[in-house]
Amino acid sequence: MNKPLKPQNPEAATPSVLLRKLPPIRRARNWRLYGTNGKRYIDLYADAGRAIMGYSRGRGARETKDLLDKGLVAAYPSTQKTRFEKALAKRFPGYARFWFFPGEADILLFLASFTDSHCQAAGMRPALRIEEAFGGFRTDICEDPSSLAFGGEIALCRLPCQAPWSFGIMMVRPGAACDAIEAGMSGKENEIPPVKLVASARSLDDLNSFEQWYGEAYWSLADSFMEGLFRRSGPWLYPLYEAARHPQVFMRCLGNGILISPDWEQPSLVPGEFDKGELLPLAKIAKDMKEEEAQPAEG
């Protein structure tokens, strides 16, 4: 029998604690995970969106394996950098320059320590612009230039690329900020391992094809299963319940073979492949929550 979904202190189950409730994964294919416990899970978390296009993509995996076999894993100069920069420029034509860092944290540290007068005048507001796949549908990310650091002229680029191949990408629009960053980055260029550059370039190529069919007509197929539990914006799924209920909802979903975002503030995603039976438990969970809310409080 399912236990009631009673609110509890959200601090008792942080996102990392909740994610560790998932059994060790022995295999990931497309939008499904296979645990050592013999269960299969439909992945609505998608590694915080990095796996929005699924796992084990054929051509990209072969290209990555080829570079690994050649030993091209060190952060040395590579012809792959030019290829990737061209792919970024084509995808994001509004940006003049692209700089690469080992990770996003390195970008934030660089900008936080940057003392150019232009940047001081612009002011480091709380958030940088974020460019990501289907990011225009994110309702939890600020798009107002007046509320963004550097007036939105500087952005973090998050590609739909698996974590082992990810690195920090800073994009800057033409203008004074770009000139200032150019001067500040002089002599500080970071080399990125070719295997990561190839994986990222491939993710952009794959995204172009993925977007041809992963759109509103497809996303709406999941609406009947999400009703009462999530609010959908594009492919993103936002909880309709309070944060205090998230640990219980997460565990109920997991028990039914569904992995949702372990973080209440990080939206889940409509998977790129699913069948009715895999998502049907969501409707039951939503129904249980509604019935529980209607019950009078104890005491």
Count how many domains the chain has.
Answer: 2
Residue 123 near residue 149, CB atoms below 8 Å: yes
Residue 84 has pLDDT above 90, yes or no: yes
Q: How confident is the model at residue 121 (pLDDT cuts 50, 70, 90)?
A: very low
Residue 111 has pLDDT above 80, yes or no: yes
Whether 177 and 114 share a structural domain: yes
* Domain containing residue 285: CATH number: 3.90.1150.10
Whether 79 and 178 share a structural domain: yes
Provide the pLDDT for residue 125: 43
d(CA 280, CA 224): 9
What number is the average pLDDT over the span 29-49?
96
In a domain, residue 151? The reply is yes
d(CA 193, CA 203): 16
Which positions ≥6 away from 262 have C-beta within 8 Å? Answer: 15, 16, 18, 19, 45, 250
> What is this structure's pTM?
0.86
CA dihedral (258, 260, 103, 180) positive or negative: positive
Last residue of a domain, one of 129, 159, 192: 192
Across 51-55, 115-119, 148-152, 273-277, least confident range: 115-119
Residue 295 region by backbone torsions, left for phi larger than 0, else alpha for psi between -120 and 50, else beta: beta
Whether 153 and 80 share a structural domain: yes
Provide the pLDDT for residue 298: 60
Beta bridge partners of 158: 132
In a domain, residue 188? The reply is yes
Between 114 and 174, the more confident residue is 174
Residue 172 main-chain phi, psi, to 5 deg: -130, 130
Distances (CA, A) of 64 to 51, 162, 199: 16, 12, 6
In a domain, residue 79? The reply is yes
In a domain, residue 159? The reply is yes
Residue 12 has pLDDT above 60, yes or no: yes
The 10s digit of each residue's pLDDT in 246-280 is 999 999 999 999 999 999 999 999 999 999 999 99
In a domain, residue 287? The reply is yes
Q: What is the dihedral of CA 262, 266, 271, 272, to 10 degrees?
A: -140
Residue 239 main-chain phi, psi, to 5 deg: -60, 140
Residue 116 has pLDDT above 90, yes or no: no
Residue 169 has pLDDT above 80, yes or no: yes
Map 128-142 to HEC letters.
Answer: CEEEECCHHHCCCCC
In a domain, residue 184? The reply is yes
Provide the pLDDT for residue 59: 64
Whether 269 and 173 share a structural domain: no
Whether 48 and 126 share a structural domain: no
Structural domain span for residue 187: 75-192
DSSP string, 246-281: HHHHHHHHHHTTEE--SSTTS-EE--SS--HHHHHH
Residue 10 has pLDDT above 50, yes or no: no
In a domain, residue 289? The reply is yes
Between 278 and 151, the more confident residue is 278
What number is the average pLDDT over the span 281-288?
93
Whether 98 and 179 share a structural domain: yes
Residue 65 has pLDDT above 90, yes or no: no
Whether 288 and 243 share a structural domain: yes
Whether 87 and 131 share a structural domain: yes
Distances (CA, A) of 232 to 211, 212, 289: 18, 20, 18
Whether 181 and 94 share a structural domain: yes
The 10s digit of each residue's pLDDT in 195-224 is 899 889 989 989 999 999 999 999 999 999
Provide the pLDDT for residue 33: 97
Percent of the chain with pLDDT over 90: 59
Whether 85 and 188 share a structural domain: yes
In a domain, residue 256? The reply is yes
* Residue 86 DSSP SS3: helix
